[in-house]
């Protein structure tokens, strides 16, 4: 395989609600922060990969360039559901891996409405929601969680503990949407949205943007490896056929396939991973991914959350940023924001939430439909 690809700069804006801002302006802010972090300029970039879902047909990448410098380089716009940002990052990685470019900007951005996400049904006929079950995201992920309950007896309380943990983590992340403690009783007694997911067990719809500067090995050596992060693996999968596909979107098999491929590509195993940012779009989902990513054995995810193994200071801290549950989930930005989080720990720059001695980290996102992206990152020096 060819030489490695490196992250030389990465940053994100504080996630929040910015109804008066435009999508390109949010993306531009993150892009400039990442360029500054790498001590580079837009003139140094040989290509730009932009991830955005809500305006997928509206050339967001080029509109970001209008705000930060129209250099005429190739710009590609990616949409891949909640894996959109990670897909844009991977497009940048591929361009360098192919030997086409030495420096590429990847940026992900989203401006979200409020309220429930999900299919409201086709225009034809009558609304199907609440008639043929539910297509809302909280219910879809509730059902995915109940599959784990069915197999292993996982409880409502165990799912709720995920939310307690991730909200606690976010109290040390100034860029998270929320920095509030949510004790177990608060989580379990919050408004029930779709059993077993209460309101505090659903990710927060926020606006956000994140960006990264990717470099070839040659360019990274030239500019200095001091704060560089090595991309050990970049993997994208779609959902392989499963028996219940048609009515039950499958987040498990595409994650398992991506994890297996990523560990092989990186030459590491789950036991080597020091911290993980995974796709906790709902509290139920995080439990599934402990097993899908091999962080514990089959059926052990409930025990893993009970024993604090995925908490900061535990065996393998998961979502120390606060995760989608508390940091927020701006769909197109999420996949790069979690790469920013891992990179920040590998660089030893995460402040109060630093995972001490972190050398290898893993990011994971799922776009329902489905797409799974996993990146394995390593401290370069």
Is residue 128 a contact point for other proteins (CB under 8 A)?
yes
Is residue 195 a contact point for other proteins (CB under 8 A)?
yes
Is residue 126 a contact point for other proteins (CB under 8 A)?
yes
Tell me if 196 sits within 8 A of 146, measured CB to CB: yes
Identified catalytic residue from 82, 254, 296, 372: 82
Tell me if 211 sits within 8 A of 107, measured CB to CB: yes
Tell me if 18 sits within 8 A of 10, measured CB to CB: no
* x-marked contacts with other proteins along 134-173 as a string, rule CB under 8 A: x-x-xx--xxx-xx-xx-----x-----------------
Reduce the DSSP state of residue 292 to 3 states and report it: helix
Quick one: which of 113, 127, 224, 299 contacts other proteins (CB under 8 A)?
127
* x-marked contacts with other proteins along 71-110 as a string, rule CB under 8 A: ----------------------------------------
Number of residues in contact with other proteins under rule CB under 8 A: 38
Peptide bond preceding 62 in cis form (omega within 30 of 0): no
Question: Would residue 329 show up in a list of annotated catalytic residues for this protein?
Answer: yes
Q: Supply the minimum distance, in Å, between the C-beta of residue 242 and other proteins.
A: 9
Strands lying side by side in the sheet with 229-238: 75-78, 47-51, 103-110, 208-216, 5-12, 229-238, 371-379, 360-367, 275-277
Q: How far apart are CA 66 and CA 70, in angstroms?
A: 6
Please say which residue, 57 or 123, places its beta carbon nearer to other proteins: 123
Please say which residue, 100 or 120, places its beta carbon nearer to other proteins: 120
- Cα–Cα distance list, 72 to 46, 93, 99, 108, 333 (Å): 9, 20, 19, 20, 24
Beta carbons within 8 Å of 349's beta carbon, 6+ residues apart: 227
Please say which residue, 57 or 126, places its beta carbon nearer to other proteins: 126
β-bridge partners, 105: 48, 213
Q: Supply the minimum distance, in Å, between the C-beta of residue 152 and other proteins.
A: 12
Question: For binding to other proteins (CB under 8 A), which residues are involved?
Answer: 116, 118, 120, 125-134, 136, 138-139, 142-144, 146-147, 149-150, 156, 191-197, 241, 243-248
């Amino acid at each position: 395989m060819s030489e490695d690809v490196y992250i030389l700069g990465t940053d994100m804006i504080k996630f929040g609600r910015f109804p008066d801002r435009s999508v390109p302006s949010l993306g531009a802010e993150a892009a400039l922060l990442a360029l500054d972090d790498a001590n580079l300029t837009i003139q140094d970039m040989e290509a730009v990969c932009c991830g955005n879902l809500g305006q997928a047909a509206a050339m967001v990448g080029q509109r970001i360039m209008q705000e930060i410098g129209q250099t005429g380089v190739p710009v590609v716009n990616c949409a891949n559901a909640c894996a959109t940002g990670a897909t844009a990052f991977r497009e940048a990685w591929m361009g360098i891996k192919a030997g086409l470019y030495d420096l590429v900007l990847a940026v992900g951005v989203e401006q979200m409405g409020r309220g429930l996400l999900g299919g409201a049904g086709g225009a034809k006929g009558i609304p199907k929601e609440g008639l043929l079950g539910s297509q809302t995201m909280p219910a879809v992920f509730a059902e995915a969680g109940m599959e784990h309950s069915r197999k292993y007896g996982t409880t409502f309380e165990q799912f709720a503990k995920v939310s307690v943990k991730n909200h606690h983590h976010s109290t040390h992340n100034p860029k998270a949407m929320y920095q509030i403690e949510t004790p177990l009783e608060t989580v379990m007694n919050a408004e029930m949205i779709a059993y077993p997911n209460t309101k505090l067990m659903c990710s927060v719809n926020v606006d956000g943007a994140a960006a990264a500067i990717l470099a070839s090995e040659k360019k990274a050596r030239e500019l200095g490896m001091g704060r560089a992060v090595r991309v050990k693996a970049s993997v994208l999968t779609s959902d392989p056929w499963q028996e219940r596909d048609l009515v039950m979107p499958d987040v498990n098999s595409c994650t398992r396939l991506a994890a297996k491929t990523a560990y092989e590509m990186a030459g590491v195993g789950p036991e080597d991973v020091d911290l993980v940012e995974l796709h906790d779009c709902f509290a139920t989902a995080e439990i599934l991914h402990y097993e899908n990513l091999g962080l514990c054995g089959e059926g052990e995810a409930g025990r893993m959350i009970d024993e604090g193994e995925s908490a900061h200071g535990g065996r393998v801290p998961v979502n120390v940023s606060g995760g989608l549950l508390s940091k927020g989930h701006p769909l197109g930005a999420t996949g790069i924001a979690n790469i920013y989080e891992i990179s920040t720990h590998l660089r030893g720059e995460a402040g109060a939430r630093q995972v001490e001695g972190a050398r290898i980290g893993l990011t994971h996102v799922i776009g329902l439909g489905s797409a799974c992206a996993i990146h394995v990152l390593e401290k370069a020096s």
